[in-house]
Amino acid sequence: MTNRRDFLSLAAAAALPAQQPRRPNIVLIVADDLGFADLGFQGSSGIRTPHLDRLAGSGVRFTNGYVSHPFCSPSRAGMLTGRYQHRFGHENNMVVRPDDPETGLPVSETMLPAELQKAGYATGFVGKWHLGAHPRFHPKRRGFQEMYGFLGGGHDYFHPGVPGDKDQHFYPIERDGAVVPEKEYLTTALGREADKYVRRHAHHPFFLYFAFNAPHSPLQAPQPYLRRYPGIADPDRRSYAAMVSAMDDAVGRVLDTLRDTGIERDTLVFFLSDNGGPKDNASSNLPLRAGKRTLYEGGIRVPFVVRWPGALPSGKTFDHPAIALDIFSTSLAAAGAASSNREIDGVNLLPHLQGHTASPPHGRLFWRTFGGYGAAVREGPLKWVREGENAPGELYDLDKDPGENTNLAASRPLDAQRLGAAWRDWSGRMAKPLWLDHIFDRERLGKPTP
C-alpha cells in the first residue's frame, strides 16, 4: 500500500521533465580507394583488420552499401551535403589549385559540419579534403572549427610537403590553415590527431570527419607494417596490405579512446570507403565487377558500417540498398538538428536500422559520371548501367548476380527500357558539370586540362 510520503514522491517525480537522452557524438571515418574485399569483415583472409572487424561486429554492416560516385571528390561532396552532387555540378575530380576560386564544392551548398555547428556541436576535420583549395573552400569556412590535414586529393605518406608545391601528393599539411611539419607516417599522424580531437571534446557533443587518404596511391608503408605480410609476394599488394593495416590501427586508436573516455555508447560511428578500389593500388573488389571510375558494382558498392551502441543493434547486417548520402540525414536526425539544405536526397536510416519500418530506404538510386558518359540506376535487385554515351544499356539482377556477369537487357527489355527512361528523367533534372575532369577529359580531348 502506498503511503502519503511515497505518493508525494511519485507525484513530484512525475512533475519533473523527462530526462533528455544525450545527443550522440558523430564520427565519420572515410577510407580512400579501399577494395571491397580487403577487410576481415568483408571476407579477406590475407589482410588483417581487427579494429574495423570489431567495429562491424558491434554495429550494422550494409551488404548493399553504396557511394554516390565512383571516385574521390564528387563522392565526398555528396556525402557531406546529403545531396546528389550532380545537383550542384560537382561531378568531376579537379586539379587542386589554391588560386582557383571556381573549382570546389560550391559555397551555395551547406555541409554537414555547418548544420551540426549550428546545433551546438564542436566540429573537427582530420585528413584529406579534396573539395577545393582556394581559401573560399577551406574547411574552416565550411563549418569546421578545427582541422588538421591537407587540401589536395592525394599525398606522399612520408613527406609533409612544402608551401607552393603544386604537386598535390606533396601538398603541405595544415593545422587550422597554418602549414606545419609532420614527421610521422601520415596515416599514423592522422590517427594521432583524431585521437587528440576526441579527447579534447569528450565532454560535449562533437562531430569528427576523419578522412584518410589511405590506401590511395602512392603505395608507401613503413617497414613494421610491411613485416606483417611476409607471405605476400607481389610487392604492390604487400604495400597495399600494410597501408590498410596502418589505417586499421589508426581507426583502432580512435575506437579505444571512445571506449576509454566512457563515450562509446553515446557515439554514432560511420565507416566506409569513398569508392571502390582502382587498378593502380593492388586492391581487390571481388566478387564485384571492375572498380574505381566505373559504375559497375566494383566502383560504387563499398564496405559500409554504422555503429551506435546506445541506439542501434549489434552485429547485424542490413540488406536493402543504402547510400552515403544517407549519412547526412541520419546524423542530423540523431543530433535532433534540422537541415537548411534544399532537396535532400539522403534519408534518415535510424527507423530502418531500429526495425521501426521494414520498407527499403530508397525506391531507386541513381549515378552519373562525366556529364552522362556513365549512367546507372538501381531499383530493388535490378540495376541498369551504361558505360559510354553511345553504349547500349545493360541490365543485371544483383541479388542473383552481384558480379554483373549476365546481361538481362535482351531477355527483359521492358525493365531495361523502364529503368533507362527513369535515369534519363533524373539526369535531365541535374546540373551540368562545373569543370572538366582532370583525367577523363584529358584523355578524351587529347590535351591537358588546366
Q: How far is it between the farthest Cα atoms of the chain?
A: 89
Q: How far apart are CA 33 and CA 71, in angstroms?
A: 8
Strands of 77-213 (E only): list them. 122-128, 146-150, 174-175, 178-179, 206-211
Neighbouring-strand partners of residue 367:
376
72 catalytic? Reply is yes
Considering the candidates 51, 69, 90, 130, report the single residue annotated as catalytic.
130
Q: What are phi and psi of 374, to 5 degrees?
A: -105, 140
Asked if 105 contacts 139 with a C-beta cutoff of 8 angstroms, the reply is no
Please indicate whether residue 216 is annotated as part of the active site. Answer: no
Please tell me the distance from the alpha carbon of residue 385 to that of residue 91, in angstroms, as a whole number. 17
Residues 342 and 108 sit within 8 Å (Cβ to Cβ): no
Q: Looking up cell 610487392, which residue turns up? A: 235
Phi, psi of 304 (to 5 degrees): -150, 120
What is the distance between the alpha carbons of residues 178 and 218, in angstroms, rounded to a whole number? Answer: 25
d(CA 224, CA 49): 15
The helix (H) or strand (E) run that includes residue 115 is helix 112-118
- Determine which helix (DSSP H) or strand (DSSP E) holds 284, and give its type and residue range: none
User: Whose CA is closest to 75, among 293, 322, 297?
Assistant: 293
Q: One-letter amino acid identity for 227?
A: R
Nearest residue to 76 (alpha-carbon basis) of 6, 5, 149: 149
Helix, strand, coil abundance in the chain, percent, nearest 5: 30, 15, 50
Which residues does residue 188 pair with via DSSP β-bridges, in sequence order? Answer: none
Q: HEC profile for 256-303?
A: HHHHHCCCHHHEEEEEEECCCCCHHHCCCCCCCCCCCCCCCHHHHECC
Q: Residue 112 gets which letter from DSSP? A: H
Q: What is the β-pairing status of strands 174-175 and 146-150?
A: antiparallel
Consecutive H or E run containing 39? none
By annotation, the residues acting in catalysis are 72, 130
